[in-house]
Amino acid sequence: MSSILLENKKGFEALLMGNDAISRGALEAGVSVVTGYPGTPSSEIVEQLAKVAHARNLYVEWSVNEKVAMEVAAAGSYARLRSMCVMKQVGVNVAADSLLHIAEYGIRGAMVLVSCEDPGALSSTNEGDSRPYAKMMEFPLLEPGDFQEAKDMAKWAFELSEDIRSIIMLRSVTRLSHASGNVTMGELPVVSPGARFECSGTPMDQMIGPILAFPTLIDSQRRRQLEKLSKAAAAFEKSPFNTYTGPEKPELLIIASSACQLYVREALSILDLWSRVGLLKLGTTWPLPQKLLGKHLSINERVLIVEEGTPFLEDNIKVLAAENAKQVGIKTFFGRKDGTLPPVNELNPDLLINGINHILGTTYQPVSDAYSSKAKRITAVGAPDRELTFCPGCPHRASFWLIHDVFKLDNRSGFLCGDIGCYSLGAAPCGFSTIKILQAMGSGTGMASGFGKLDQFGMEQPVMAVCGDSTFFHAVMPALVNAVHNQSDMILTVLDNSGTAMTGFQPHPGTPVGATGISLPMVDIEKLCRAMGIQVEVSDPFDLKGTRKIMLDLLENGGSPRVLILKQPCALSPGKKGEKKFEMSIDETLCLADQCGCNRFCTRVFKCPGLIWNTEKKITQIDEVLCVGCGVCADICPTGAIIAGEAR
């Protein structure tokens, strides 16, 4: 079971996930330093490279957050190593301050920023599009259009970065990162990099001077960076990643980037329009290849622009068309802005088919009306949506049950500020809709710090924030320091499940291992909080009674920030998986069901998927396949019908 990433037969073809293709491209480019912070759909890149770190002599780390990841990768570059920094779209916002300065100064060893974005917010709290950073901060942007390109463009990004000495952003999307396709491998190079930071020259000696963002240097540094952009634009004019398919003089030109180009191809094949419509697939999307675009714009009157995210290409191509109006003439543009394609959400082949039909007046019906109305009717009753829920045995279910419960007992309209992780589901019915504010990484604690200072305006509601252990280190710490220093009346509950659970148990500073599995010292959340001068309590969320009492005491004794750490590993954590603490069973004589007065509390309110309601017998049963034996439900049954027995 050796990693496919190490396969060194040139021309070997394999099924690779987009993220693995990017990892492979980085290896083929001779990357040495790899950093990142986990986030769907980006996490596999650092994970897979960590697995081959030893074999390929890489330094790979999960950094505390994206900004630090960017700085650690930049250190590699400044020491003349090839480095890569990987994150999801929101991470680029966290890293943006450093990114601006790294872009402005330039790099030494190649440096590639990989942003894996999530159009449609399939597993995000937003649909952020990081591409505008490339324009705003003046660095080149690449968008691979398929799996082979993900590999090839990742490799090329390093070469381009070193050619022009600028950071390069490689932007992927969920349908590329988490999809898979054929990839033909290139060679893995033999590299023996040496690291040294040169700082003997003057501040304008990019390769040997000190790296300084001084006010007096900015004018020259930005001019230097703009020259690099011109070089990139020249390279993009000839890039094999920009291709045209279609007739010489089509009725409609489609310009598409990223996985969208696959949707366009599919739509044109289904509609049988390849003789009438042309596709200009752009892999290099900032700076735009002006001559190439000018050539295509001048022979097409109608242009449809297809991209994931905001109308970034659309706006910039329109500017280009305006600047070159004399040569290219007046165009009619279609895209996300005029409603040909939806202004939000991810695209797919069907949306493209609709959009093209709208422009050309063509029609298409995938199945007969009779079939589709029958299918619709059956699906409506036969396949109700599966609501997202916590896993069976998830400690968060117990934690949110407790928080929900104590706020009710406290009776002062207390509320909970949430954060980013599996526990964001605390805002959903499975978390008893306890979370009332949910935004960015760390913002739950920052908000709670703010709410906790509003007593002078008459605010009397108690406020609590929750965060996970990884999030605590990522962005909660500064917010907590703020709460301590300003003596905000708030409680932070840390849901410590011993890993970055949502994205697949990546280690973080609070765990005793690093990305590659090496032993590392763990930073203790409890000690950190105590060192900040905060009152800290620690409990097990599965101990409902004990934890409830602690929570009520904390709620009563307000006035300053307090921290409660709820420790219980994730039910899916590698150390716990398959290990049942208890063998759960139902005493059918004790379950009074509808006569109980509990109103089927366990299955209607607590709702662990390990519990099922037997509609014939009218009692609760344990789902042997799903139950992980955490034992929590035994404590919530008023008649004691749920029995936590010895694990077999």
Contact residues for other proteins (CB under 8 A)?
1, 13-15, 40-41, 122-123, 146-147, 174-176, 178-182, 259, 262-263, 265-267, 270, 348-350, 353, 366-368, 371-372, 374-376, 378-379, 381-389, 391-392, 422, 429-430, 502, 572, 600, 603-605, 607, 609, 611-613, 623, 625-626
CB nearer to other proteins: pick between 448 and 570? 570
Q: Are 135 and 99 in contact (CB under 8 A)?
A: no
CB nearer to other proteins: pick between 480 and 602? 602
**Minimum Å distance from CB 46 to other proteins?**
16
**Minimum Å distance from CB 117 to other proteins?**
13
- Residue 295, number of CB atoms within 10 A of its CB: 15
**Minimum Å distance from CB 370 to other proteins?**
9
Strands 302-306 and 619-622, bridge-based pairing = unpaired
Query: What is the b/e burial string over 616-648, where b = at least 16 CB atoms within 10 angstroms of the residue's CB?
Result: eeebbbbeeeebbbbbbbbebbeeebbbbeeee
**Minimum Å distance from CB 389 to other proteins?**
5
CB nearer to other proteins: pick between 469 and 489? 469
CB nearer to other proteins: pick between 266 and 583? 266
What are the backbone dihedrals phi and psi of residue 537, each rounded to the nearest 5 degrees, phi first?
Answer: -120, 150
Summarize the chain as % helix, strand, coil (round to 5).
40, 20, 45
CB nearer to other proteins: pick between 226 and 367? 367
| Of 502, 468, 495, 631, residue with least CA distance to 566 | 495
Q: Where are the beta strands (DSSP E) in 213-314?
A: 243-245, 252-256, 277-281, 284-286, 302-306
**Minimum Å distance from CB 247 to other proteins?**
19
What are the backbone dihedrals phi and psi of residue 224, each rounded to the nearest 5 degrees, phi first?
Answer: -60, -40
Mention every residue, 6+ apart, whose C-beta is less than 8 A from residue 451: 417, 459, 461, 463, 488, 490
Strand partners, 468: 495
CB nearer to other proteins: pick between 166 and 177? 177
Bond into 41 cis (ω within 30): yes
**Minimum Å distance from CB 374 to other proteins?**
7
**Minimum Å distance from CB 248 to other proteins?**
22
Per-position DSSP letters for 452-480, written without gaps between them? TTGGGGT----EEEEEEHHHIIIIIHHHH
**Minimum Å distance from CB 177 to other proteins?**
10
Strands 619-622 and 415-417, bridge-based pairing = unpaired
In 3-state terms, what secondary structure has residue 285? strand
Per-position DSSP letters for 342-381, written without gaps between them? -SSS---HHHHHHHHHHHH-----SS-HHHHHHHHHHHHH
CB nearer to other proteins: pick between 112 and 632? 632
| Of 62, 61, 50, residue with least CA distance to 3 | 50
CB nearer to other proteins: pick between 28 and 146? 146
**Minimum Å distance from CB 91 to other proteins?**
15
CB nearer to other proteins: pick between 206 and 354? 354
CB nearer to other proteins: pick between 139 and 505? 505
Q: Interior CA angle at 10 toward 9 and 13, to 5°?
A: 80
**Which strand (E) or helix (H) includes residue 334?**
strand 332-334
Q: Which two tokens stand for residue 216?
A: 């007096």
Give the C-alpha separation, 385 to 396, whole Å: 22
CA-atom Rg of the chain in angstroms = 28
**Minimum Å distance from CB 106 to other proteins?**
35
**Minimum Å distance from CB 4 to other proteins?**
8
CB nearer to other proteins: pick between 425 and 483? 425
CB nearer to other proteins: pick between 15 and 319? 15
In 3-state terms, what secondary structure has residue 552? helix
**Minimum Å distance from CB 348 to other proteins?**
4
- Residue 354, number of CB atoms within 10 A of its CB: 14
CB nearer to other proteins: pick between 126 and 379? 379
**Minimum Å distance from CB 612 to other proteins?**
6
CB nearer to other proteins: pick between 330 and 625? 625
Q: Are 504 and 490 in contact (CB under 8 A)?
A: no
**Minimum Å distance from CB 118 to other proteins?**
8
Q: Interior CA angle at 202 toward 201 and 206, to 5°?
A: 80
Strands 252-256 and 302-306, bridge-based pairing = parallel
Strands 582-586 and 642-646, bridge-based pairing = antiparallel
**Minimum Å distance from CB 1 to other proteins?**
6
CB nearer to other proteins: pick between 147 and 158? 147
Bond into 287 cis (ω within 30): yes
**Minimum Å distance from CB 607 to other proteins?**
5
Name residue 566's amino acid. Answer: L
CB nearer to other proteins: pick between 183 and 483? 183
